[in-house]
Amino acid sequence: MKILNDLKYTKSHEWIKVEGDKALVGITDYAQEHLGEIVFVELPEPGAELAAGDSLGVVESVKAVADVYVPASGIVKEINEELLDDPGKLNEDAFGNWLISLELTDPAQLDELLDASEYEKLCKEED
Amino acid sequence: MKKTPLYEKHLELKGKVIDFGGWALPVEYQGIISEHEAVRTAAGLFDVSHMGEVTVKGPDAEKYIQKLIVNDISPMENYQIFYSPMCYPDGGVVDDLLVYKFNKEDYFIVINASNTDKDVRWFMDHLEGNVEVKNVSDDYGELALQGPKAEMILQKLTDTDLNEIGFFRFMPDVKICGVPALVSRTGYTGEDGFEIYVDPAQAPFLWDKILEAGKGEGLVPAGLGARDTLRFEACLPLYGQEIDKDITPLEAGLGSFVKLDKEDFIGKEALLKQKESGIPRKLVAFEMLDRGIARSHYEVQAGGKKIGFVTTGSYSPTLKKNIGLALIDREYAREGGEIEVIVRNKSLKAKIVENPFYRKKYKK
């Protein structure tokens, strides 16, 4: 299982990466591995205002439907439309394929998220 | 959780083991889609040891079974197998099962794992005449070898000419690598293949031997996930979804197994009445037109009005589309008709299509 050091994580297996004035959000490698082959992705409309912990969409494998939660509050700037046509990319590289980009409205929330080592510990506990 | 005799094999093969109705079984090994495709194009080996088995023996065995199930077993030949729903007096389904006939006084019945206790109680509560009913589920391990290459692979391991086992027929004492097994040409995938019943202690040995024999042929171990998508594409019903205590076999499209001209059986009156007064709901196959996957129990509407619910919905690995089965009011059950599936509070368009999605490739 892959975990990247420069990202922040949620207990519900999302990652967030701040790049300048925006943040990218995706699901972790652990999440994709546990879901199995991903066959469907539903994403929000750009412009949607989401609060930390809101569902931003779903990722579905053959058998399971998983909600994806937004790690920090913000306004949806872009969605990764490539994933709508090719959701299997999340299985190939969960960290290389973000779901949405956000304009953060409360960047201080990032401090409450898990860092890589804390997240790694969580994954080990859940297995 | 209960373990099948192949539990250690699933761990060795790194299967994703889940709790399936109290049984520890693999949902997948390498991935549902690749296992599904292997069964459609080559072969897959499934552990179905969780299935329940019951023997019915005695001079009144035939009469007793006739009373319990909706199909008519009187035309059955020895070593033939019939499928049948088994109903409550109100026409709802207790379970669906396979009846293996040795002779008029000796039958072997295969039932769903999750219904085993309920079914055995049902059998016992309806004992009549000179019969002996026994739950022999723990005496059997069961492997299902399914796919177009199933026969060729299994043939490598036995001197019995498997070609002699016709569709829905069985042979009771086939030696596979020297191990005696009951082998039937049955399955739950829509492909040709076999179900193999053996002494549980021998199941791991046969599992390894079969996988070895299929190595160069594209055979893979396959889990419950692929078993479900395969049966679903072929529109084979699953208890708890397409059939249930609240759904009659007539509604589920299983009318050809309901022999209403048979003398007397549990549920006959209710089913006759339903047939005469018009079957209220019908199981239909549909394809999503809007983006989204229908799942079991999602509501189905027409023009904003509730007309039924999804029994099974999934991405179809063979068709590469999102498809489903739904039980809906009869008046809307017309091929080509548009329905709406409510997915996370959104109404998504779907179209009723021909059933089944996948034409079964049985060897007859």
Average of per-residue pLDDT across B51-80 = 98
Write out the residue range of the structural domain in which residue B91 sits.
Answer: 52-137
Where residue B319 sits, what CATH number does that domain have? 2.40.30.110
Q: Would you say residue B145 lies in a domain?
A: yes
In a mutagenesis test of the A interface, which of B33, B227, B319, B321 is the best target, namely the one with the most A β-carbons within 10 Å?
B33
Å between A7 CA and nearest CA of chain B: 28
pLDDT tens track for A35-83: 999 999 999 999 999 999 999 999 999 989 999 999 999 999 999 999 9
Token readout for A120 is: 């790694």
Q: Does B315 contact A at CB distance below 8 Å?
A: yes
Mean pLDDT over the full length of chain A? 96
In angstroms, rounded to a whole number, what is the distance separating the alpha carbons of residues B274 and B264? 16
B258 belongs to a structural domain? no
Counting the structural domains of chain B, the total is 3
Question: What are the two backbone dihedrals, phi and then psi, of residue B22, each rounded to the nearest 5 degrees?
Answer: 95, -5
Listed range (A17-21, B121-125, B177-181, B246-250) with the worst mean pLDDT: A17-21
Under the banding of pLDDT at 50, 70 and 90, the label for residue A88 is very high
The pLDDT tens digits for B150-188 are 999 999 999 999 999 999 999 999 999 999 999 999 999
CATH class of A8-107: mainly beta
Asked if B31 has any chain A CB less than 8 Å from its own CB, the reply is yes
SS3 call for B33: helix
Bridge pairing between strands A100-104 and A74-79: antiparallel
B293/A36 CB distance under 8 A: no
Whether residue B299 sits in one domain with residue B179: no
Q: A36 to chain B, minimum CA–CA distance in Å? A: 7
Residues B158 and B84 both lie in one domain:
no
Average pLDDT, integer, range A80-95: 97
* Shortest distance, CA B314 to any CA of chain A (angstroms): 6
Q: What is the pLDDT of residue B80?
A: 98
Which of B117, B137, B157 is the last residue in one of the domains? B137
Angstrom CA distances, A75 to A19, A101, B27, stand at: 15, 8, 38
Q: Check residue B290 and give its pLDDT.
A: 97
Residue A21: its pLDDT value, please?
A: 78
Which residue out of A37, A45, A58 would a mutagenesis test of the B interface target, given it has the greatest number of B Cβ atoms within 10 Å? A37
Question: Is the residue at B294 inside a domain?
Answer: yes
The answer to whether B251 and B280 are in contact (CB under 8 A) is yes
pLDDT band of B274, cuts 50, 70, 90: very high
B221 shares its domain with B336? no
Tell me the nearest-neighbour CA distance from A37 into chain B, angstroms. 7
What average pLDDT does this structure show over B317-330? 97
Task: Please tell me the number of Cα atoms within 13 Å of B66 on its side-chain side.
Answer: 17
Are B293 and A39 within 8 A, CB to CB? yes
Residues B102/B73, Cβ–Cβ less than 8 Å: no
pTM, full prediction: 0.95
* pLDDT value of residue B26: 98
Average pLDDT over residues B1-7: 97
Which A residues, 33 through 92, put their C-beta within 8 Å of a C-beta on chain B? 36-37, 39-40, 42, 58, 60-63, 65, 84
pLDDT of A1 above 90: no
Residues of chain A with C-beta less than 8 angstroms from the C-beta of B322: 40
Instruction: Inform me whether the pLDDT recorded for A19 exceeds 90.
Output: no
Average pLDDT, chain B: 97
One DSSP character per residue, B265-282 reads -TTHHHHHHHHHH--SEE
